Amino acid sequence: MSEHSGRHATPGRLVAITITLLILLSPFLWLLQMSFKSNDQILQFPPPLIFTPTLENYISLWHSAFSASFVNSLLSASLSTALALLFGIPAAYALSRWAGRGKHGLSFAILVTRMAPPIAFTIPFFLFYRWIGLLDTITGLVLVYTSFNLPLVIWMMQPFFDTVPISLEEAALVDGARTRTVFTKIVLPMVTPGIAATAILCFLYAWNDFFFALILTRTNARTAPVAVVNFMNYEGWEWGKIAAGGSLVMAPVLIFSLAVRRYLVSGLTAGAVKG
């Protein structure tokens, strides 16, 4: 053990970390253990802590419409994140480099669309989508999520671009690089942590959305969060499937976050100690 880590690993500190982790993780762990129980075991009181785990809930999920909903969620969240980044990053860069008088006004105007509650847009979206035939389609969901994530991307990415010295770009231009090359080869690599953090937030927003998916989808484009609710039947709630569905819904976000965690911390804390 290194001197550095040994300095922190006092028994008291370990106990505190363990307790904190237990408190933080207990809802997730509870959900996870529920997903391996039968409905009867779940409803037993006091709840049995030692039980024979079953994969029945996951197997029945796999064979139900949930699997298609899961794919719908993956598609709509990934595509909308990609689209929001594709349009938002150049917009943020342009805004960062623009020295015009209306810069702050424009930035604020972009953010205003994110300030309104989603419910304010739901009915217009519903009526419009019905009119143009986008109701219950992945395309429809992707467009909604992109429109909501775009301001977020612009607002999050602009400060990252502000931190990239213009002199670097000027030097590259003097060396004969074209504007596109400067942007892709010099500027973008320097804001990678920002892109990772922004992508996570965009993905999370689209992945966790329930309200738009509830109103704008039916069966073809139904997403996982709405599909989980569908286990709350009139005759009773299928707790095991709800727990299994909930655990599966969490998985991609966890995997995505772990994959980009190296960038995530620096991305989310960038500028925090500037002053």
Partner 1 sequence: MKNRADQPARAITRRKLLKASAAGAALAAFPAPLIAQTKPFAGVTLHGASFQHRFFTLLQKYIPEFEEQTGMKVDLQLSAFPVYNQQANLELSSGGSAYDFVNVTFILAARWVAAGLLSNLDEFTGDPNLTPAEWNPKDFVEGAQVPYRDAKGGTYGYSWEGGAMVMGLSRMDLMEKKGLKIPKTFAELQQVCAEINGTDGASGIVAFRLHHWNLPPYIQGFGGNIFRNPPGDIMPALNKPETIEGIEFYAKLLKSAPKGVLTYTEDQARQSLLTGRSNIFIHSSAWVTPILLSEESKVKDTSRVVRMPAGPVHDHPASNSQGLGIPKNAKNKKAAWEFIKWALSPDISMRLVKEHGHSSVCRRSIITSDAYRKLNTVNGQDLGALYLEVLELPAKGENYMAYRTVKEFPIVGDVLNKAFEQVATGQLPAKDAMNAAQDQAIAALRRAGTQL
Nearest to 144 by CA among 167, 177, 120: 120
Do 188 and 93 form a contact (C-beta atoms < 8 A)? Answer: no
Among 239, 246, 247, 260, binds partner 1 (CB under 8 A): 239
Do 253 and 77 form a contact (C-beta atoms < 8 A)? Answer: no
Encoded one letter per residue, x for contact with partner 1 by CB under 8 A and - for no contact, window 134-173 reads -x--------------------------------------
Quick one: how far is CA 108 from the chain centroid?
23
- Contact status: 232 vs partner 1 (CB under 8 A): yes
**Closest distance of CB 52 from partner 1, Å:** 17
- Contact status: 119 vs partner 1 (CB under 8 A): no
Q: Which is nearer to partner 1, 99 or 120 (CB)?
A: 120
Span interacting with partner 1, options 39-47, 70-78, 150-158, 191-199, rule CB under 8 A: 39-47
Among 152, 231, 243, 264, binds partner 1 (CB under 8 A): 231
What ranges in the chain are assigned the alpha helix state H?
Answer: 3-8, 11-35, 39-43, 56-63, 66-97, 103-115, 119-132, 138-163, 166-174, 179-181, 188-190, 192-208, 211-216, 224-229, 239-259, 261-269
Residue with tokens 């772990």: 258
* Amino acid (one-letter) located at 140: G
User: Segment 180-219, which members bind partner 1 (CB under 8 A)?
Assistant: 214-215, 218-219
- Contact status: 40 vs partner 1 (CB under 8 A): yes
Chain residues that interact with partner 1, rule: CB under 8 A = 39-40, 43-45, 123, 126-127, 130, 135, 214-215, 218-219, 226, 229-237, 239
